[in-house]
Amino acid sequence: MSTGKRIAYFLGLPILLILVWWAATLGSTNFYVPTPGKLVETFWRVWISNRFFTDFMPSIIRLFIGLAATIVLGVVLGVLIGSFRWLRSLFEPLLEFFRAVPPPVLVPLLMLLIGINDQMKIVVIISGAIWPVLLNTVEGVRAVDQVLSDTSRTYRITGMARLRYLVLPGASPQIMTGVRQCLSIGLILMVISEMFGSSAGLGFTIVLFQRAFAVPEMWSGIAVLGLVGIGLSAIFQLVERRVLRWYHGLREVQRDN
């Protein structure tokens, strides 16, 4: 697909939805649904100001720290659990138990154990976003081609060499699937963690606007979250294209044949 066509697909639906929104709110005096022009004006006034540094940047920093820790912990633990059958049997009931617990339920408990601070908010992100990465890594390690595994064992490729050249490349498609899922979960938990006992951040600011009936300002905060989600998706696609270049190339060859 050409670059121009890709951009057209990317921008086509959002532009269409904005036009529909503009037409539906034309001449409207509904207090709860601002017009696109009003939202743009409010967005610029609210977020291109001190709030960018006091609310937006701290939230983004916590989000990226939480996601980075989530990916590292998820991959490391997933490789360990997926590589040893006895370890998988030992931890499987515990993993199923914690995976079934909704992460927002843990927020009050983490507030008591850690306190209301940045560490608590980062732990909230990790506690909920780690499961897609961890479980997909376990399944990816278990699904490594048995013929390749036997061949590496025959040639005595063990330790870090086996991990680097066999296990991680073989499991990388499923690892990246887990990473994609954890990005949206991490964003949601970032907002939730800032709604409890916080005095700054995107989640706190949106709730503050909602309680003050500052509806256009509240919508502008929601728009910021949507833009952050688009940014995360774009970054992920760039990284995935580089990490899985060999995988996509192989699929194209198989499709052509």
CATH number at residue 153: 1.10.3720.10
Residue 42 maps to a domain: yes
pLDDT at 225: 94
H/E element, 145: none
Chain position carrying tokens 């998820």: 74
198 burial level (CB within 10 Å; 0-12, 13-18, 19+)? buried
pLDDT at 186: 94
pLDDT at 198: 79
Q: What is the pLDDT along the chain (257 residues), one digit of tens a residue?
A: 566 677 777 777 788 888 888 888 887 777 788 888 889 999 999 999 889 999 999 999 999 999 999 999 999 999 999 888 888 888 888 888 888 888 888 888 888 888 888 899 999 999 999 999 999 999 999 888 788 787 888 878 778 888 888 888 888 999 999 999 999 999 999 999 998 767 889 999 999 999 999 999 999 999 999 999 999 999 999 999 888 887 766 666 666 66
Give the structural domain span for 94. 35-244
Residue 250 maps to a domain: no
CA neighbours closer than 13 Å in the CB half-sphere of residue 109:
9
Residue 176 maps to a domain: yes
The answer to whether the beta carbons of residues 202 and 55 sit under 8 Å apart is yes
pLDDT at 28: 74
pLDDT at 219: 93
Q: How far is CA 211 from CA 24, 200, 218, 248, in A?
A: 26, 15, 9, 48
Residue 57 maps to a domain: yes
- One-letter amino acid identity for 11? L
Is pTM beyond 0.85? Reply is yes
Whole-angstrom Cα distance, residue 230 to residue 235?
Answer: 9
Q: Which 3 state secondary structure label does DSSP give 199?
A: coil
Residue 235 maps to a domain: yes
The number of folded domains in the chain is: 1
Residue 5 maps to a domain: no
Whole-angstrom Cα distance, residue 230 to residue 153?
Answer: 43
What is the helix, strand, coil percentage profile of the chain, to 5? 85, 0, 15
